[in-house]
Amino acid sequence: MARHSATPEQQSVRVLKVGERVRHILSELLARGEAHDDVLTAHSVSVTEVRMTPDLRNAKAFVKPLLGEDEAAVLKALRTNTAFFQKEVAQRLGLKFAPRLSFRSDESFDEAERIERLLDDPRVARDLGELGED
Strand order in 45-52's β-sheet? 45-52, 58-65, 100-105
pLDDT band at 4 (very low <50, low <70, confident <90, very high): very low
Predicted confidence band at 58 (pLDDT cuts at 50, 70, 90)? very high
In angstroms, how far apart are the furthest CA atoms of the chain? 66
Do the Cβ atoms of 44 and 65 come closer than 8 Å? yes
Q: With a cut of 90, say whether residue 111 has pLDDT above it.
A: no
Segment 104-109 mean pLDDT: 81
The reported pTM is 0.74
Closest C-alpha among 86, 74, 89 to residue 38? 74
The backbone torsions φ and ψ at residue 55, rounded to the nearest 5 degrees and listed phi first, read -85, 0
C-beta separation of 63 from 75 below 8 A: yes
Domains of the chain, start order: 8-106 (3.30.300.20)
The number of CA neighbours under 13 Å toward the Cβ of 36 is 2
Phi/psi of residue 7, nearest 5 degrees: -70, 160
Q: Is 30 left (phi over 0), alpha (psi -120 to 50) or beta?
A: alpha
